A and B are shown apart, each in its own frame.
Chain A
Amino acid sequence: MQRLNRIERPAQHDHLMRAERLRAVSLVSPATLLLTVMFILPLLVFVRFSFNQFVPGEFMKTAWTLENYIKFLSDPYYLRVLLRTIVISVTSTVLALVLAFPVSYFLARLRKRWKSLLIIIVVFPLLLGNVIRAMGWIAVFSQAGLMNRLLLSFGAISSPLQILQTPFAVTVVLAAVVMPYMILTLQAVIEKIQPDLEEAARDLGASTWQVFRLVIFPLAMPGILAGTLLVFVLCMNAYATPLLIGGPKVLMMAPALYSQIQDVSNWPLGGAMAVVLIGVTLATSALYSRILSRKYIRSFEGGTRV
C-alpha cells in the first residue's frame, strides 16, 4: 500500500514534503542548540566534577574516583535527606492533585467570560517569587503567626505550636507553590471531556461518584499523569521553599547540595548529590509513568468493553 502511494505521489509533493521537513528542522534546531549548549553541556561538566577529589581548604583535584558517591550513599544522614525529599515530594504531589482536581473541573466547565478571569487568579501566584510566597507562609505558620493566634483564641491549644520547620509545613507550602501548574494541566484535559458523556452516564443511572470514578477520572488520566509528573519533578528540585519553611530540620536535596558547593567549595560531593538527585527523579518518573500509563490503557480498554 505504502509502495503504491509512493509511486502515485507526484514529484512536486515530494518536494513539498522535503521543504516541510526542512522547516521543521529549522524550527526545532535553535531550541535544541540552546538546550545542548546551555543545559546539557554544563550538566556533563558537573557529572565530570562528581568524580573529582575534594581537597579541604583548597578546591578539587582532577581524578576518577567514586568516593563522593560512596560518601553520599553510605551515610545514613544523606540517605535520610534523599528519602525525605522523595516522601515530601510524593505527598505534596498527591495533596496538590486532590486539591486541584475540583478547581480544574469547575474551571473547565465554566463559561468563557468567567474562565479567563479565574485562570488569571490561578496563575497570579506564579508572578510572585517563591521567596515572597514563603515569607507569606511564615507569617501564617510562625509561633506568633496567624494560625497559632487563631488556635489560641479558640482555645484549641494553650501554647503556640511549632509548625514551621516541620515536614508538615514544607509539604503544605510546596503543594501550594506547585498548585497552579497542576490546575492548568488538569483543566486543559478536563475541558476536552464532553459534558454529554457525563449526562449519558447519569441517564443510565450512575451516581455522581460513579460518574467521577468511571467517566471523568479515566478520561482525565493523561492530564493527571502529566500534571503529577511535572509537579513531582518541581518538588524534588525545590530550593527556596524547603530552605525557608523547613530550615535545617527538614533538609531536602537541593538546599543540601547547594550548601556543599556554596559554603565549603565541595563541588565533587555537590556534583555527586546532583547526579543522584537527577537519577532518582528520572527513574521514579519513568517507573511511575510506565505503571500508570499501562494501568490507564487497561482501564480504558475495560471501559470500552462494557
Chain B
Amino acid sequence: MDRKVWLVLGAVFAYLLSFTPCDRGASAQSPGQGASGKVIVGTFGGDTVKVLSETVDPVLAKVAPNVKIVYAIGMNTERMTKMRVEKDGASSFDIIHVNDRDMQILINEGLLLKLDEAKIPNAKKLFPSFRNDHYIPYNFSANVILYNKNKVSPVPTSWEVLWDPKYKGKIGIQTNLWTDHMYIAALLEGTAYQNNWDAGWNRMLKLTEQELKPFSSMETLGIALQTGEVWLTVTRRARAVQWAAEGGATLGNVLPKEGVYPVTFCAAIPKNAKNVDGAHAYLNALLDQKPQIGFAEVMGYTPTVSGIPLSEKVQSSIGFTDEEMKRIKPIDLIYVGKNDPKWKEQWDKKIISR
C-alpha cells in the first residue's frame, strides 16, 4: 500500500480514538478517569486495610487504571502527628483515615482540604446526616446495650438499665468510652442535643454506686462477658455481634429507645496532599457497593450510603432497622472536641478509678 494511504488511515484512527474517552467519561460519570499517579492512603491495619485493598482497589482500577494505591498502615496518633509536623510542606498522605471525632480536630487545626463534591458523585448517596464538607464517612456503627440473655431480664429497652440496682457489680465498662457515657447521662437528662452534657454529671456520679467493673482492653472485657463475670456493657453493635459469635454466654444487644449517636470511620484529603485528583477518585470508590458490602460482611460496620444490598444474615445482625435509624442522631463534634479532655479527666478521677 502507498505510504500516503497509511498516513490517512492513521489520522482517521487517531481522530476516532480521540472521541472514545470523552464518550466513556460522559456516560459513566467517573471523575477518577483523569486521575493517575500514586495515591498514598494512611489507614488502620488488620481487617480495615484488608477490606480496602480487596474492594476499593479493583473498583478504582476499573475507572482509573493509572492510579497506584499505596497503603501506609499505622495508628491514629501516628497519622495525626505526621499531618501536624508536615503542615508546612508536602503531606506524605493523599488520603487519611481517622474517626469522626479526630476528623473534627483536624478540621479545627486547618489540616484538611475542602472536598470537591463534583469529583465524588457517590457522595450524593450518603445518608443526609453523614454529609460533610471535609471528610467522607464510609462506614458506621452505634452503641448498644450488650447483655447476657440468661441473666438480664426483662430485655432492656432504655439506657436507664445501667443505673438499675439489680445489676450492681455486674456492669462492665470500657474505660475509653467516656464520651459515650457522658452522652448517655446527658441524653437521659434531656440535654445531649442542647450541648450541655455537663448537666448529666450528677447522674454519672451515681453510676459509681453500681460498683462498675472497668476494663482497659477490649479483650479482657470480652472474656469477662463470655464467662459471665459481667452481664451488661455499652459497646458498638459491630463489636457486640462479634463477641456474641465467639461463644460463651448468650449475648444479645439492643439499641435503647432514647437513641444514640453514630460512630463513623472517615477518610479525608490533607490540605497539602500531592495527588488531589487521585484522592478524590479514591474517596468516590470508597462509597461504591463493593467496599460498602465488604465493611459490613468482614467488620460488622454498616454502610453510610443508601441502596447497598446486604445479605439478610448481615442485615439482621449488624444492620440497623429503619426504625432504629430514626433513633441514630449525630452530635455536635465541635462542642464535644472542646470538652472531651475535661470529661476524660473527670471520668478517670471520679468514675473508673473508684
Contact = CB atoms under 8 A, between A and B. Distances in A.
Interface of A: 54, 56-59, 77, 135, 138, 142-144, 164-165, 243-244, 247-249, 251, 255, 259, 261-266
Contact of A138 (B75, B220, B228, B353): B220
Contacts of B84: 59
Contacts of B353: 77, 248-249, 251
Given A57-B105, A59-B105, A59-B109, A265 B216 contact: no
A248 B337 contact: no
A248 B216 contact: yes
B224 interface: yes
B187 to A, nearest CB: 21
A259 to B, nearest CB: 8
B80 A244 contact: no
A300 to B, nearest CB: 46
A244 B220 contact: yes
Interface in B340-354: 340-342, 344, 348-349, 352-353
Interface in B243-263: none
B216 A144 contact: no
Contact of B227 (A58, A143, A262): A143
A72 to B, nearest CB: 12
Given A56-B340, A56-B341, A266-B341, A255 B108 contact: no
29 contacts: A56-B337, A56-B338, A56-B340, A56-B342, A57-B338, A58-B105, A58-B108, A59-B105, A59-B109, A77-B348, A77-B349, A138-B223, A142-B224, A164-B220, A244-B216, A244-B219, A244-B220, A247-B175, A247-B214, A248-B214, A248-B216, A248-B348, A249-B214, A249-B353, A251-B348, A255-B216, A262-B77, A263-B176, A265-B80
Contacts, number: 78
B217 interface: yes
Given A143-B227, A247-B175, A57 B340 contact: yes
Given A59-B105, A142-B227, A263 B344 contact: yes
B182 to A, nearest CB: 13
Given A57-B337, A249-B353, A144 B229 contact: yes
A143 B229 contact: yes
Contacts of A266: 341
Contacts of A262: 75-77
A57 B342 CA distance: 11
Contacts of B217: 243-244
B178 to A, nearest CB: 9
Given A57-B108, A251-B348, 19 more contacts: A56-B337, A56-B342, A57-B334, A57-B338, A135-B219, A243-B216, A244-B216, A244-B217, A244-B220, A247-B175, A247-B215, A248-B216, A248-B348, A248-B352, A251-B353, A262-B75, A264-B341, A265-B77, A265-B105
A2 to B, nearest CB: 53
Contacts of B216: 243-244, 247-248, 255
Contacts of A261: 77
B339 interface: yes
Nearest to B217: A244
Q: Identify the 4 closest CB pairs spanning chains A and B, nearest first.
A: A57-B337, A57-B338, A264-B341, A248-B352
B159 to A, nearest CB: 22
A262 B217 CA distance: 14
A264 B176 CA distance: 10
A170 B353 CA distance: 15
B175 A144 contact: no
Contacts of B214: 165, 247-249
Contacts of A138: 220, 223
Nearest to A261: B77
A303 to B, nearest CB: 49
A81 to B, nearest CB: 9
Nearest to B221: A247
Nearest to B104: A57
Nearest to B83: A59
A263 B77 CA distance: 9
A58 B80 CA distance: 11
- Residue from the set A164, A247, A251 with the largest chain B CB neighbour count within 10 Å: A247
Contacts of A142: 223-224, 227, 229
Nearest to B178: A263
A243 B341 CA distance: 20
B18 to A, nearest CB: 49
Contacts of B77: 261-262, 265
A58 B87 CA distance: 14
Interface in B204-220: 214-217, 219-220
A249 B35 CA distance: 52
B169 to A, nearest CB: 10
